[in-house]
């Protein structure tokens, strides 16, 4: 009988505990299940968004692959850039789409618009390499506009070491535009050195050095 009473007491204790804590326990389990389901749904959403951004960007690349684009293609490409940057603003594809947008603006003679796009990308992007590419393209654009000093200022910003050869190449162009042949020669020599160290091509630099030497020899 003592054992029976003990079992009954234990059963009563369990009932009381369940009455006091059962609701909270059920709620906790429900919250945990909802969190897992929500996380899986969020992960699936992110994957779908990334895939959609990738597909739209690839379409943009294909659309702008030709050297010369008619007005219809340019308009379609610009609309696609807007769609990618609006719907997938935090992705790498949005940054790459802005680079293409700047190139499209240059091809249309809209240098001011291209400059604004590149400056905005430099300020907004969280990716060092993309910022570096944008700075290089902005510096080249500034050289085209005759603003060599502004190009040098742009090149003094943070640019990854992987782009050091290209940075030195454009710096040489800027110095030459300002009549600083010695600085131009040194910058181009640096470009060749960086390219060799990283085993990456940098096109036209040797020809620039040779042309500079020929020019000096004929003076």
Q: What is the pLDDT of residue 87?
A: 85
Of 42-51, 99-108, 144-153, 160-169, give the lowest mean pLDDT range.
42-51
CA dist 111 and 150 (Å) reads 15
For 44-63, write each residue's pLDDT tens digit. Answer: 545 556 677 788 888 888 88
CA dist 187 and 168 (Å) reads 5
For 16-44, write each residue's pLDDT tens digit. Answer: 665 666 565 555 555 555 455 554 444 55
CA dist 159 and 168 (Å) reads 11
- Cα 37 to its chain centre, rounded Å, is 31
- CB count, 10 Å around CB of 116? 13
- Cα 25 to its chain centre, rounded Å, is 46
Indicate the pLDDT class of residue 215, thresholds 50, 70 and 90.
very low
Q: Which residue has the higher pLDDT, 156 or 214?
A: 156
CA distances from 137 to 91, 117, 132, 218 (A): 20, 11, 9, 33
Most confident of 9-13, 193-197, 209-213: 193-197
Q: Please give the structure tokens belonging to residue 142.
A: 């500034």
Q: What is the pLDDT of residue 61?
A: 86
């Amino acid at each position: 009988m003592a054992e029976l009473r003990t079992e009954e007491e234990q059963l009563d204790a369990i009932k009381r505990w369940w009455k006091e804590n059962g609701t909270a326990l059920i709620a906790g389990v429900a919250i945990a299940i909802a969190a897992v389901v929500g996380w899986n749904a969020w992960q699936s959403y992110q994957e779908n968004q990334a895939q959609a951004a990738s597909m739209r960007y690839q379409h943009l690349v294909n659309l702008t692959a030709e050297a010369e684009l008619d007005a219809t293609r340019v308009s379609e490409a610009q609309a696609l850039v807007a769609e990618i940057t609006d719907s997938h603003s935090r992705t790498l594809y949005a940054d790459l789409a802005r680079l293409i947008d700047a190139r499209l603006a240059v091809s249309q003679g809209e240098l001011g618009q291209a400059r604004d796009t590149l400056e905005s990308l430099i300020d907004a992007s969280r990716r060092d390499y993309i910022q570096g590419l944008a700075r290089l393209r902005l510096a080249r654009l500034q050289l085209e506009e005759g603003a060599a000093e502004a190009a040098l200022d742009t090149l003094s910003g943070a640019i990854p070491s992987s782009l050091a050869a290209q940075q030195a190449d454009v710096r040489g162009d800027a110095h030459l535009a300002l009549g600083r042949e010695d600085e131009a020669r040194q910058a181009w020599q640096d470009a060749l050195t960086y390219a060799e160290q990283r085993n990456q091509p940098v096109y036209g630099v040797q020809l620039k050095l040779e042309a500079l030497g020929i020019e000096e020899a004929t003076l």
